[in-house]
Structure 1
Amino acid sequence: MKLTILGGGGFRVPLVYGALLTDRGEGRVTEVVLHDLDDSRLYAVARVLAEQAATVPDAPTVTATTDLDEALRGADFIFSAIRVGGLEGRANDERVALAQGVLGQETVGAGGIAYGLRTVPVAVDIAQRVARLAPDAWVINFTNPAGLVTEAMSRHLGDRVIGICDSPVGLGRRIATVLGANPREAFIDYVGLNHLGWVRGLRVAGRDELPRLLADPDLLGSFEEGKLFGTDWLQSLGAIPNEYLHYYYFNRETVRAYSEVEKTRGAFLRDQQAQFYDEMKRPDTAALTAWDRTRAEREATYMAENRETAGAGERDADDLSGGYEKVALALMRAIARDERTTLILNVRNQGALSVLDTDAVIEVPCLVDANGAHPVAVAPLPDHATGLVCAVKGVEREVLAAAENGSRTTAVKAFALHPLVDSVNVARRLVEGYTEVHPGLAYLK
């Protein structure tokens, strides 16, 4: 089976390949094609993968190309993990937003809108090429903002594009663990949009164990989200929010913390990864060792400003291992081998969440089999969550419209309608600032 990875020179690709190396079953991936616009990054990642495979018999072959059409032809699965504008673009997203006193995080608020505006046209082009060159392939979208990009691609690929994220998986695992349950045996009642969802229940053998967690302040405060949000707030909500909701619930504190750091997250990753890729140009570099060292530092500093604001301390060791590659492998196996499973995924609504239309991409538990991912019908959200979900989905739709018609006015509307942007004038200045620093937004007229 052939797997094509778009953004194949990306830093996290070795996580995916490492997961593939653990799969010895029939019908596994035997061929991996890396595609990237930067051949030096492809070379660096290919070196890491070669060292990963050195002790694994019959490891999937790896080839690399800068020709997109060549990479797509004959693919059974396609991972889309692109970053339009690179980490320099992410750093600019943060800088422009913070200059206006609003959040610039890559998937939330102004930064997420800017990232989406320059990514959607590229993602749509990829989707159209896939429909033409590999119509039977399944596209698994890693590209952020994951829900928005998946919805853009679904307009051309239908249900053959599925978005994934490791945040709900990690959240469900942490809740199950503190409750003494096996995460593999628990059903996570999770619903929302990507980076905007809540766990409302955790059922083990038919019994919802979440009320027990919410009633025990010591237990509730013992894991990442309890430390991040505070036990009183979680008890008030009656649910456990995705960690990204910290940007909404504690926005003022987070913006202040991000404004005071020496380097934003994007600038830190830009400089850190530039050092890694420079190091990989030396033939004597131990590629896998260098990658492991860089990844450990990257994961340990994840959402550091939010944890500092909340007094949450360092991340637990179990939360430093990633997880999206495991979701991707489980998804591929379920489709390719009809190994039926339940996964939290980004898919078209199809009536699962009644407040949104059929084509809206949501993040919910899905039953996965050879025919793809099928969202499980979920109970309505409480009013406060419904309002937030509908507001952000409305913003996503304006981003898609702006990307389709090239309208600067529509782009301003997208920024102005976001709950974390507090003025139409700020929205106008954001569009001005972003179009100045991002050549990829020149299409907005």
Structure 2
Amino acid sequence: MKLTILGGGGFRVPLVYGALLGDHAEGRVTHVVLHDLDAGRLSAVTRVLAEQAAGVPDAPEVSATTDLDEALTGADFVFSAIRVGGLEGRANDEKVALDEGVLGQETVGAGGIAYGLRTVPVAEDIARRVARVAPDAWVINFTNPAGLVTEAMSRHLGDRVIGICDSPVGLGRRIARVLGANPGEAWIDYVGLNHLGWVRGLRINGRDELPRLLADPDLLGSFEEGKLFGTDWLQSLGAIPNEYLHYYYFNREAVRAYSEAEKTRGAFLRDQQAGFYDEMKRPDAAALTAWDRTRAEREATYMAEARETAGAGERDADDLSGGYEKVALALMRAIARDERTTLILNVRNRGTLSVLDAEAVIEVPCLVDANGAHPVTVDPLPDHASGLVCSVKAVEREVLAAAESGSRTTAVKAFALHPLVDSVNVARRLVDGYTAVHPGLAYLK
């Protein structure tokens, strides 16, 4: 089975390949094609994968190309893990927003809108190419903003594109762990949009154990989200939010922490990963060792500003292992081998959430089999959550409209309607600022 990874020179690709190395069953991936526009990054990542594969007799073959059609031809699965504008673009997303006093995080608020505006046209072009060159392939979208990009691609690929994220998986795992349950045996009642969802129940043997967690302040405060949001707020909500909701519930504090940081997250990763890729230019560099060292630092500093604001301290060791690659492997297995499973995924709504239309991409538990991912019926969200979901989905739709029309006016509307942008005038200045630093936004007129 052939897997094509778009953005194959990206830093997290070895996580995916590492997961594939542990799959020895019949029908596994036997050929991985890395595609990237940067031949140097492709070379660096290929070296890491070669060292990972050493001593694994049935390791998937790896090839690399800068030709998109060549990469897609014959693919059974396509992972879309691109970053339009690179980490320099992410750093600029953050800086332009912070200069206006609003959040610039890469998927939330102004930064997420800017990232979406320059990514959607590229993602749609990829979707059209997949439909033409590899019409039987399943596309698994890693590209952020994951829900928005998945919805853009679904307009060309229908249900054959599925978005994934490791945040809900990690959240469910942490809740199960503090409750003394096996995460693999728990049913997680999670619903929302990507980076905007809530766990409302966790059932073990048919019994919802979340009320027990919410009633115990010590237990509730013992894991990441309890420290991040505070036990009182979680008890008020009666649910456990995705960690990214910290940017909504504690927005002033988050903006201040980002503004006072020595470097934004994007600038930190830009400089850190530049160091890794520079090291890989040396023929004698130990590729896997350098990658492991860089990854450990990256994971340990994840959402550092938010945790500092909340006084949450350092991340637990168990939360430093990633997770999205495991979701991707489970998804591929379920589709390719009809190994039916339940995963939290980004898929078209199809009536699952009554407040959104059928084509809206949402993040919910799905039953997955050889025919794809099927969203599970969920209870309605409470009013406060529905309002936020509808508001952010409306912004996503304006981003899609701006990308399609090239309208600067529509782009301004997308920024202005976001709950974390507090002024139409700020929205106009954000569009001016982003178009000045991002060549990929030159299409907005």
SS where residue 347 of structure 1 aligns? strand
RMSD value, Cα = 0.3
C-alpha distance in 1 between matches for 2:203 and 2:55: 40
Task: Describe the superposition over 1:339-369 as per-residue Cα deviations: whole angstroms up to 9, x where unpaired.
Answer: 0000000000011111100000000000000
- CA drift of 1:130 comes to 0.3
Count of residue correspondences: 445
Task: Describe the superposition over 1:144-175 as per-residue Cα deviations: whole angstroms up to 9, x where unpaired.
Answer: 00000000000000000000000000000000
SS where residue 181 of structure 1 aligns? coil
SS where residue 10 of structure 2 aligns? coil
SS where residue 58 of structure 1 aligns? coil
Q: Give TM-score scaled by structure 2 length.
A: 1.00
- CA drift of 1:389 comes to 0.1
- CA drift of 1:403 comes to 0.1
C-alpha distance in 2 between matches for 1:203 and 1:302: 29
Task: Describe the superposition over 1:189-232 as per-residue Cα deviations: whole angstroms up to 9, x where unpaired.
Answer: 00000000000000000000000000000000000000000000
The answer as to 2:284 corresponding to 1:284 is yes
1:54-93 correspondence runs (5 A): 54-93=54-93
Q: Give TM-score scaled by structure 1 length.
A: 1.00
Task: Describe the superposition over 1:408-431 as per-residue Cα deviations: whole angstroms up to 9, x where unpaired.
Answer: 000000000000000000000000
| Cross-structure match for 1:5 | 5
- CA drift of 1:234 comes to 0.0
Are the equivalent residues in 1 in contact too, given 2:4–2:33 (CA < 8 A)? yes
- CA drift of 1:55 comes to 1.3
C-alpha distance in 2 between matches for 1:181 and 1:275: 41
- CA drift of 1:253 comes to 0.4
| Cross-structure match for 2:410 | 410
SS where residue 386 of structure 1 aligns? helix
C-alpha distance in 2 between matches for 1:354 and 1:202: 22
C-alpha distance in 2 between matches for 1:413 and 1:357: 21
C-alpha distance in 2 between matches for 1:186 and 1:355: 27
C-alpha distance in 1 between matches for 2:311 and 2:411: 36
The answer as to 2:396 corresponding to 1:391 is no
Task: Describe the superposition over 1:16-69 as per-residue Cα deviations: whole angstroms up to 9, x where unpaired.
Answer: 000000000000000000000000000000000000001111100000000001
| Cross-structure match for 1:321 | 321
1:287-302 correspondence runs (5 A): 287-302=287-302
- Segments of 5+ residues of structure 1 without an aligned counterpart are none
Task: Describe the superposition over 1:230-250 as per-residue Cα deviations: whole angstroms up to 9, x where unpaired.
Answer: 000000000000000000000
| Cross-structure match for 2:98 | 98
| Cross-structure match for 2:146 | 146
C-alpha distance in 2 between matches for 1:108 and 1:12: 21
C-alpha distance in 1 between matches for 2:310 and 2:69: 47
Task: Describe the superposition over 1:93-112 as per-residue Cα deviations: whole angstroms up to 9, x where unpaired.
Answer: 00000000000000000000
C-alpha distance in 2 between matches for 1:254 and 1:17: 34
Task: Describe the superposition over 1:71-90 as per-residue Cα deviations: whole angstroms up to 9, x where unpaired.
Answer: 00100000000000000000
C-alpha distance in 1 between matches for 2:252 and 2:169: 28
C-alpha distance in 2 between matches for 1:149 and 1:55: 37
SS where residue 136 of structure 2 aligns? coil
SS where residue 3 of structure 1 aligns? strand
- CA drift of 1:442 comes to 0.2
C-alpha distance in 1 between matches for 2:313 and 2:85: 32
| Cross-structure match for 2:52 | 52
C-alpha distance in 2 between matches for 1:253 and 1:133: 47
C-alpha distance in 1 between matches for 2:58 and 2:20: 11
Are the equivalent residues in 1 in contact too, given 2:123–2:153 (CA < 8 A)? yes
SS where residue 283 of structure 2 aligns? coil
Are the equivalent residues in 1 in contact too, given 2:348–2:361 (CA < 8 A)? yes
Are the equivalent residues in 1 in contact too, given 2:150–2:162 (CA < 8 A)? yes
C-alpha distance in 1 between matches for 2:31 and 2:382: 46
Are the equivalent residues in 1 in contact too, given 2:24–2:58 (CA < 8 A)? no
Identity, % of aligned positions = 91
C-alpha distance in 2 between matches for 1:263 and 1:204: 42
Task: Describe the superposition over 1:284-305 as per-residue Cα deviations: whole angstroms up to 9, x where unpaired.
Answer: 1000000000000000000000
Are the equivalent residues in 1 in contact too, given 2:248–2:420 (CA < 8 A)? yes
C-alpha distance in 1 between matches for 2:128 and 2:172: 35
C-alpha distance in 1 between matches for 2:24 and 2:261: 45
- CA drift of 1:315 comes to 0.2
C-alpha distance in 1 between matches for 2:81 and 2:123: 10
C-alpha distance in 2 between matches for 1:86 and 1:287: 21
C-alpha distance in 1 between matches for 2:281 and 2:443: 35
Are the equivalent residues in 1 in contact too, given 2:41–2:277 (CA < 8 A)? yes
